[in-house]
Structure 1
Amino acid sequence: MPKIRLTIPASTTNLGCGFDCLGIALTLYNVVEVEFTEKPGLFIKVEGEGEELIPTNENNIIFPAIKMVFERAGKKLTGIKIREINSIPLQRGLGSSAATRLGGIIAASYLLNINLSEGDILKMATFLEGHPDNVAASFLGGFVAVARPSDDNGMPLWIKLDVPDPLRLALVIPQIEVSTEKARRILPSKVSLSDAVFNLSRLALLIPSLTKGIWDNFPLVTQDRIHQPYRSSLIPGMYDVFKAALDAGAKGVFLSGAGSSIAAFVLEREARKVGEAMQKEFFKRGIKSTVRILSVDKKGVRIDEKNK
């Protein structure tokens, strides 16, 4: 029976000032295997991160992604077997849901022999995810800037940019779950003009600074007034962790996505020191955490195995 195996990278987004429009793919991965079965029904097995929490029925977020492709093709979904091998932590701001949804869309399109464009895939994944930054980064790889049109039926626009090879990201992943829905509800519906200008001026500098490796700009260009101040209430000591990272040699530091992970731009020589400094700051508050030193994944989603 037709089968496909995909590897999908994690992503870190916002990068401070670039709320909902900037993302970077990371060298941390989920694997999705999907195959048709002669026996009717939905068969899902989850391994690794979230295996005790993720549903193995139609409530699994991969199912609507697969179903969307079948409906687009006018096909009936009968027997399908799914295996998820997860290394991306859940509800930590690292794009676990985006990776799963992308896996479902791409796997279903391949098995049905549907030729979806990059734009089609991003549009469908963004519709399910609600925002385009994680899906664009994980799908395309590298450093991505993306915009969603005001018309929800329109095609997202994106550009993939190169980043210097020495760049690493030191992540501290605390044992604090932050759902994207909760982290969005806490945000105001409007921001002041001064806060908008604050972010826009930093965003204008962040993109060329990152692509050219102008690290001296990073303590400033990763600052934010639109989302991080509000989300800090969900993450005890967030700004103290930021300070610890900068004091230890980080180039810049920011809340990864909706949190709770905190990411720091580093060069390899200071990566471990920065990660441990952030971890120590959480430990002072009785919060356990894990440190990961990751590189930028420049390839995005890849097909590891396929047969028809």
Structure 2
Amino acid sequence: MTPAPVPEPVEGRTVAVRVPATSANLGPGFDTLGLALSVYDELEVTSLPEPGLEIEVSGQGAADVPRDASHLVVRAMAYAYEAFGRRMPGLRIVARNVIPHGRGMGSSGAAVVAGLLAAKGLLEGDVEMSSDDLLRLATELEGHPDNVAPALFGGLTIAWMSNDGPQHKKLLVHRGVSPLVFVPEFTMSTSLARSMQPLQVPREDAVFNVSRSALLIAALIQSPELLLAATEDKLHQDYRADAMPVTIGLVRDLRAHGYAAVVSGAGPSVLVLADGPGRRLEAAEIVARSDTPWDALMLAVDFKGGTVRDITEGST
């Protein structure tokens, strides 16, 4: 039986992609909860008539990211094209990176999502990628859905694995929640942070985190005054303390002052979920007096998630 021919790629199309930063875990919601934040990486991707890659990168990590097929955006695009039986065209990619790299703000998840959305945009009219398709492919590439779900869909997301693959539920965050991220100069390896997790934890610690995770959902969508209690954690942050003592020290200091501070993702950034803009400013003032320099990012919750649009000259 002769195999069906692989359709030729559409040439000359240009798409613009925008993907938010994310913060995963949020304290007790280890590998489950994620929040989209108003810091964005942006791409313009053009399909070319001839094979090859042209990659321009500016901003965060520009000196370090590869300019070949090992670039994470290109790898994600190739993965999507292969998954749908399409031949990837030559590409021109112009990337403007704003999300800090290696700081626990979902930069790798954003790159994966950006690549998948770029593929979705370039294949529009030939292949239709659903939200479920995008989450499945992103999770296969990233290994877990806690960062890619909010990057794709925005807001607060609960992500879990089922027999049918990764699933998510998006929730809208209470307007009183004011995120603040303290970004240090140093970085943290996600793989190193995850390697410090024990394979088993005490039953009482598991129960503790189940209760706090449930409370955190209520705090984020309805009762921000409960955020301090709701962000307590016994499953992952203390186990990683030796790898990032400065980060853990700041989390503990802010919590002692009554602020809902947690390690952002795998760290080393610190996320504060303040229950109002005034409280957020107070937290920033405390950190400004510390010996360690921290870049304070006053952010909003991104409710839209990743976007892609056709900007081909002459398109409507």
Query: Per the shorter chain, which TM-score range?
Result: over 0.9
For residues 75 and 161 of structure 1, what CA distance do their matches in structure 2 show? 34
- The more displaced of 71-80 and 239-248 is 239-248
For residues 140 and 88 of structure 2, what CA distance do their matches in structure 1 show? 20
For residues 175 and 270 of structure 2, what CA distance do their matches in structure 1 show? 21
Match of 2:140 in 1: 127
TM-score by length of 2: 0.90
Match of 2:177 in 1: 167
Match of 2:155 in 1: 142
For residues 20 and 286 of structure 2, what CA distance do their matches in structure 1 show? 26
What is the identity, as a one-letter code, of the residue corresponding to 1:205?
A: L
| Contact 1:248–1:277 (8 Å) recurs in 2 | no
Displacement after TM superposition at 1:305 (Å): 4.5
Aligned residue pairs total 299
Whether 1:29 and 2:40 are equivalent positions in the alignment is yes
Structure 2 residue matching 1:148: 3-state secondary structure: strand
Structure 2 residue matching 1:133: 3-state secondary structure: coil
Match of 1:5 in 2: 16
Displacement after TM superposition at 1:90 (Å): 0.3
Q: What percentage of aligned pairs have identical amino acids? A: 33
| Contact 2:109–2:151 (8 Å) recurs in 1 | yes
**For 2:263, which of 255, 263, 271 is the aligned residue?**
255
Which structure 2 residues correspond to residues 63-82 of structure 1 after superposition, within 5 A? 63-82=74-93
**Structure 2 unmatched ranges of 5 or more:** 1-11
**Structure 1 unmatched ranges of 5 or more:** none
For residues 181 and 94 of structure 1, what CA distance do their matches in structure 2 show? 15
Match of 2:3 in 1: none
Whether 1:293 and 2:294 are equivalent positions in the alignment is no
**For 1:181, which of 177, 191, 207 is the aligned residue?**
191
TM-score by length of 1: 0.92
For residues 304 and 80 of structure 1, what CA distance do their matches in structure 2 show? 16
Structure 2 residue matching 1:237: 3-state secondary structure: helix
**Closer/same/farther in 2, CA of residues 88 and 187 from structure 1, 3 Å limit:** same
For residues 94 and 257 of structure 1, what CA distance do their matches in structure 2 show? 6
Match of 1:207 in 2: 217
| Contact 1:163–1:213 (8 Å) recurs in 2 | no
**Closer/same/farther in 2, CA of residues 109 and 2 from structure 1, 3 Å limit:** same
Match of 1:47 in 2: 58
Which is greater in Rg? Answer: 2
Displacement after TM superposition at 1:247 (Å): 5.0
For residues 82 and 35 of structure 2, what CA distance do their matches in structure 1 show? 31
What is the identity, as a one-letter code, of the residue corresponding to 2:203?
A: L
Match of 1:234 in 2: 243
Displacement after TM superposition at 1:210 (Å): 1.4
| Contact 1:242–1:278 (8 Å) recurs in 2 | no
For residues 105 and 247 of structure 2, what CA distance do their matches in structure 1 show? 17
Structure 1 residue matching 2:245: 3-state secondary structure: coil
Structure 2 residue matching 1:46: 3-state secondary structure: strand
Q: CA RMSD in A?
A: 1.6
